[in-house]
Structure 1
Amino acid sequence: MEGLPGVLANSVGGNCGSLGNLASGLLRRDNMFSGKKVIVLGGAKSGISAAQVLVKLGAEVTLTDIIPLHKMPEPDRSALQQMNIRLVTGSHPVTLLKDADLIVKNPGISPEIDFLQSAKEFGVPWISELELAWLVTSAEVVAITGTNGKTTTTALTGEILACASRPVAVGGNIGIPLTGISFGKGPEWLLVVETSSFQLQDCYQLHPRVAIFTNLTPDHLNRHKSMENYLAAKMRLIQNQDSEDYAVINLDDPILARQSFGRGQRIGFSLQPGEADCYTEDGWFCWRGARVAPTSDLALPGEHNLQNALAAIAAAMVLKLQPEEISRGLRGFAGVEHRLEFAGD
């Protein structure tokens, strides 16, 4: 997208500068959190997982949640207290910011709340749990975003990639917290991740090897205020890609089809041949003129699921999977029960 860097900078406001000042010291993979004072803003599964991982990395962690302590589930409370994680509940006191180094924010919390506005004044930057998950892993990342189809595409991509020789872990913006599956995984792993605009809005160093865009239509505009801001949040997925990375995009989507995608290699998919790298033709999923697998291998009905499959196949092809592995993954995929992600290894 023309002018993308400026749009991205505007979308994050003052937090961008604060994080930039911190990047040279805190956000490195070598002992990046050891001795740092980190606030986890928001509990639930993702916050608890983030707090536990941060403690394992040597951080001094405070978890703050708006709900009262007595309403926090006992198992969660006990798990946090056993790891010496400080709990502050019922409110988010501004006093927590006085000596904080970083905030890890639940994606459901608006950046407009008073606590985060005060964080800007104190010079304390914040990131999302998705960014933390990236910082604590060495796995190669395949990340999926879009307005619709993310969950199915994420699960199907994981199913297909698991048919090759590399270990695969799969997660999303609901269900199993990403930090729980990413932490400690080495470069031999593939991490397949569903990402939302709320998560991406607070990412700065996330660098997926493969970024998949399923489609884009106006959504969450009550949070993002405009379609431009929503698009800018989504485009954070590719802001750190380089010429060795891939942006897999749906050419049947009019918004995506007219965007540019940074420095990564653009890989298009479509229900029709034409300019697409990956497409359907005469009952086959095809890749650059070659048949990969019959569309009958996919049990899920509907053109939207054909598009989801094309996105997953395109990712598999750039990651050097063989057609027989892709076919096996398609045949083994039965859909996503209740739209929840899974984790595998």
Structure 2
Amino acid sequence: MKALNTFANKKVLVLGLAKSGYAAAKLMKELGADVTVNDRGDLSQNEHAKDLAKLGVRIVGGGHPLELIDHTTALMIKNPGIPYSNPMIKRAETLGIPVVTEVEIAGRLADAPFIGITGSNGKTTTTMLIGEMMKGSSYEPIVAGNIGTALTSVVQKANEKNVIVAELSSFQLQGTIDFHPHVAVVLNIFDHHLDYHGTVENYAKAKAQITANQTADDALVYNADSKRVVQFIAEKTKAKKVPFSLKQKVANGAYVSEETIYFKDQAIMKVEEMGLPGEHNLMNALAALAVAGVYGVSVQHMADVLRSFKGVRHRLEYVGVVQGRTVYNDSKATNSIATSQALHAFPKKEIVLLAGGLDRGNSFDVLVPDLVKAPIKAVLLFGETQQKLKDACLKARIPVIKEVENVEAAVPEAFALSQPGDVILLSPACASWDQYKSFEQRGDIFIAEVNKFR
């Protein structure tokens, strides 16, 4: 880790004590900063807060007192999910105080180069694939970021022998200034998080931060099939362009032709040999191949990873064959696009779909064509969006639509409505917070209920 003394004895406010806030506060204290952590929740029994207090960090919970910020504050590190409309952030901006996420701090301190991965969908799977492929390079990969490990918790141990493979959300990237990955990956841009960013243009602008500081010595791996990625990001980058595509042969990139996967016109493997199902996972694989190709990873290692990789937890995760039904946990599908992709992964199987969750105000009409096309036998609906999803299912003329209380109640119904050879798929198209703490908890409960039928 670089020995920066930039923040020694400087006042730093960490807004939001979650996993990233804890890691950032701890690191800034070690760098000699005068650190205050502020969270609207009660922190009196919070173990992370207690740990930080022992280190000399000031802890302020139960609200956001504006007096914590004044002209002597040098920096605010915000939790990515806190909107910029928050009064604390507004005050910091008025006073000209930089407001960043922990990604910016990690980027300034790391001795290791970064591979940054962003996109509306597929980030986690692609990040994990790249991590596995980079084990065949001259670098030792460290996988972190939005995938679940705070970047500020890994930069201290990373050195020039490592490469940090970082999943990055638009929320994280919007809070960067000088962040500079050696390789940036942009998978896609859909109409996501507009409640946070306001417009698609703002959302794309946040994503574009991943390549904002790149130079001709760096590489941008990008989806050549996405008009938005090309328009908002690839056309504006200064980095070397490395495209990937399902629709066309691309020079200097990864593509599919006649059911064969290629990188720079060299055949890697047949599509049917991949360990992950679905066209969206094929796209993720092409992105990972392109990154591995930049680093000179052998074709054999690339192919071995794609054959053996079975996915990440909660993202079209293969649970097993239970009473003849093939079960998949796609709890991480927290929007319609992700569920659409999951439905296309099983073109020759009849599906019993479990869906529903937090109501964010959107309709699900965008799912209707996919519900029509997919061979869906029945749909089980739960959570706040039951009625909205039911409306979409009725438009798609799904033969059996049933409302249940929650995932726990949905699983036995799914077995009752299915038969051997069918797919039981949890792909909610919604966030989990109306009934569960996280999509991970929702997925774990689904698996536990399925295991009762083994």
TM-score bucket (shorter structure): 0.7 to 0.9
AA partner of residue 94 (structure 2): E
Instruction: Please name the residue that 2:22 is paired with.
Output: 48
For residues 103-142 of structure 1, what are the structure 2 equivalents within 5 Å? 103-142=76-115
For residues 294-333 of structure 1, what are the structure 2 equivalents within 5 Å? 294-333=270-309
Task: Give the Cα separation in 1 of the matches to 2:185 and 2:265.
Answer: 21
Per-residue deviation, residues 32-85 of structure 1 (Å, max 9, x unmatched): 222221111000111011111111111111111000123x43x21321122111
Instruction: Please name the residue that 1:226 is paired with.
Output: 199
Per-residue deviation, residues 185-213 of structure 1 (Å, max 9, x unmatched): 22221101111111111111111111111
1:169 deviation in Å? 0.5
Q: Percent identity?
A: 37
Count of matched residue positions in the alignment of Structure 1 and Structure 2: 311
Higher relative contact order (CA 8 A, sep 6+): 1
The answer on whether the counterparts of 1:137 and 1:185 sit within 8 Å (CA) in structure 2 is: yes
AA partner of residue 138 (structure 1): D
Instruction: Please name the residue that 1:25 is paired with.
Output: none
AA partner of residue 179 (structure 1): T
Which of 46, 57, 60 does residue 85 from structure 1 map onto?
A: 57
In 2 relative to 1, CA 84–297 (structure 1 residues): closer, same or farther, beyond 3 Å? farther
AA partner of residue 108 (structure 1): G
Which of 119, 123, 129 does residue 146 from structure 1 map onto?
A: 119
1:88 deviation in Å? 0.6
Instruction: Please name the residue that 2:128 is paired with.
Output: 155
Instruction: Please name the residue that 1:169 is paired with.
Output: 142
Task: Give the Cα separation in 2 of the matches to 1:41 and 1:321.
Answer: 40
Which of 69, 74, 79 does residue 97 from structure 1 map onto?
A: 69
AA partner of residue 36 (structure 1): K
Which of 242, 247, 262 does residue 267 from structure 1 map onto?
A: 242
In 2 relative to 1, CA 208–278 (structure 1 residues): closer, same or farther, beyond 3 Å? same
Per-residue deviation, residues 241-295 of structure 1 (Å, max 9, x unmatched): 0001111111122222344032101111011343352111233321121113343
The answer on whether the counterparts of 1:209 and 1:245 sit within 8 Å (CA) in structure 2 is: yes
The answer on whether the counterparts of 1:293 and 1:323 sit within 8 Å (CA) in structure 2 is: no
Q: 324-333 vs 48-57, which deviates more? A: 324-333
For residues 238-277 of structure 1, what are the structure 2 equivalents within 5 Å? 238-259=211-232, 260-276=235-251, 277=253
The answer on whether the counterparts of 2:249 and 2:257 sit within 8 Å (CA) in structure 1 is: no
Q: 104-113 vs 91-100, which deviates more? A: 91-100
Per-residue deviation, residues 289-324 of structure 1 (Å, max 9, x unmatched): 111334344200011101000000000101111112
State TM-score, norm by structure 1. Answer: 0.85
Instruction: Please name the residue that 2:31 is paired with.
Output: 57
Task: Give the Cα separation in 1 of the matches to 2:225 and 2:105.
Answer: 33
Q: 324-333 vs 76-85, which deviates more? A: 324-333
Q: 326-335 vs 42-51, which deviates more? A: 326-335
**SS state at 1:119 partner:** helix
Task: Give the Cα separation in 2 of the matches to 1:235 and 1:29.
Answer: 29
Q: 275-284 vs 45-54, which deviates more? A: 275-284
In 2 relative to 1, CA 216–319 (structure 1 residues): closer, same or farther, beyond 3 Å? same
**SS state at 1:69 partner:** coil
State TM-score, norm by structure 2. Answer: 0.66
**SS state at 1:47 partner:** helix
The answer on whether the counterparts of 2:116 and 2:165 sit within 8 Å (CA) in structure 1 is: yes
The answer on whether the counterparts of 1:140 and 1:188 sit within 8 Å (CA) in structure 2 is: no
- Does residue 189 of structure 2 align to residue 213 of structure 1? no
Instruction: Please name the residue that 2:255 is paired with.
Output: 279
The structure having more radius of gyration, on CA atoms, is 2
Instruction: Please name the residue that 1:179 is paired with.
Output: 152
Tell me, which stretches of 5 or more residues in structure 1 are unaligned? 1-27, 341-345
In 2 relative to 1, CA 93–30 (structure 1 residues): closer, same or farther, beyond 3 Å? same
In 2 relative to 1, CA 334–273 (structure 1 residues): closer, same or farther, beyond 3 Å? same
Q: 174-183 vs 290-299, which deviates more? A: 290-299
Task: Give the Cα separation in 2 of the matches to 1:267 and 1:29.
Answer: 34
